[in-house]
Amino acid sequence: MAGCIGVILFLYPLLPEAFVALSLHPPVNGSDIGGLSGNETLPDLETENETVLLPEPLNDDERLEALIARTSVPLLELAAGEVYSAHIQDDAALRDRAADICSLAGSARLDASALDVSPGVASAHADFIAALDEFIAAGTLLDGSVPLNQSVVDEALGRLVLGAEHLSGALRGCRSPDAGSPETEPASMSRAVEPAPAFPDALQIGERFCYDDASGANSGSLIVVRVRTLQSFYTTGLKPQKYTAKPGESFLLVAIKATHLGHKGDGTNSRLQTPRENAFTLHYSGETYRPMPAPGPTNQGDSYSTSLLERHESRDGYLFFEVPEDFDPSHAYLEANIGKARPVWHLDEGVTA
């Protein structure tokens, strides 16, 4: 009972964000949202004297934004409906909605996989694919031939929560609607312009922050292990790629360690989802920065990326930021968005070149 209520409270705050995104990309020519059909009809766009033409997406970045906008609301509504059906133990409704989830998420995944997006929205694209995979997994569990029991339902609800988290990341990762306004200079995807607040109670490098996941069933921790600045680095593997800082800039690498501290309660979902890359924000000298898309394994070490941890498992890796060449760690803070918690670390100590 408590687990179901927790999932409902987690899913519903994401719906307004999805509605805002949907308003930026309405379906073209009266098509159904996300391929779903029903009795509702869209307003007729034709008047006596003119026909209103809705803009078509021009490139794969815009197509991704439109796809995320069209599928977010129905996916979250279906997920919330599954939570309610599980709460009242309506197996027939669970299976019906599960089939709709698989159909909608599967179709959207095919469309999303065909897109070749720019590096600026690569994290949103990855979050969207991950979200769809979790929704498909949940739908498959509930729509399968295996009899529904508490273990199967708990696992499916856990998948829905992870899917909603990734979907929220995809929505936030889309570009700002006024990014192309001629009255303002387009902002870098890795930098925002809001002022950095003061963090008098910030943690220091090496200090641990402990938290519970959205379901309350698993406990985890985050530690900022070290930071360093570089002018260049390269990826490892079959096709190494060199990254060189732009003139007047440098790379800041922040090592994050995530640990699954333990599972509690009677639920069967014992895996911990670590925070997404774009859940971290660097505050520095009145500006904020977002991590670069994870480049993968590098000569400096692995990149940090979101993952599912088993009990007592740990993962670590670097977040990569583009910062000014004269970066001063005494004015730098790293903030993490973990549900309702916002832990902050002061990066004043431990910077190496």
Q: Provide the residue-wise pLDDT of the chain in tens; the chain has 353 residues.
A: 444 445 444 555 555 555 554 455 444 333 343 333 334 443 443 444 444 454 555 688 888 888 888 888 888 888 888 888 888 888 888 888 888 888 898 888 998 888 888 877 777 888 888 889 888 888 888 876 566 777 778 888 888 887 887 787 788 776 544 444 334 344 344 444 444 446 888 999 999 999 988 878 889 999 999 999 999 999 987 888 899 999 999 999 999 999 999 888 666 778 888 998 989 999 998 889 999 988 889 998 999 988 899 988 999 999 999 999 999 988 899 999 987 889 999 998 644 44
CA distances from 225 to 206, 296, 321, 333 (A): 5, 19, 16, 14
CB 198 within 8 A of CB 184: no
Backbone torsions φ then ψ of 261, nearest 5 degrees: -80, -25
Separation of alpha carbons 96 and 100, rounded Å: 7
Separation of alpha carbons 29 and 298, rounded Å: 46
Q: Enumerate domains of the chain plus CATH numbers.
A: 2-45+54-173 (no CATH), 196-352 (2.60.40.1240)
- Give the three-class secondary structure for 231: coil
Q: Measuring CA to CA, which residue among 55, 65, 48 is closest to residue 111?
A: 65
Residues in the chain: 353
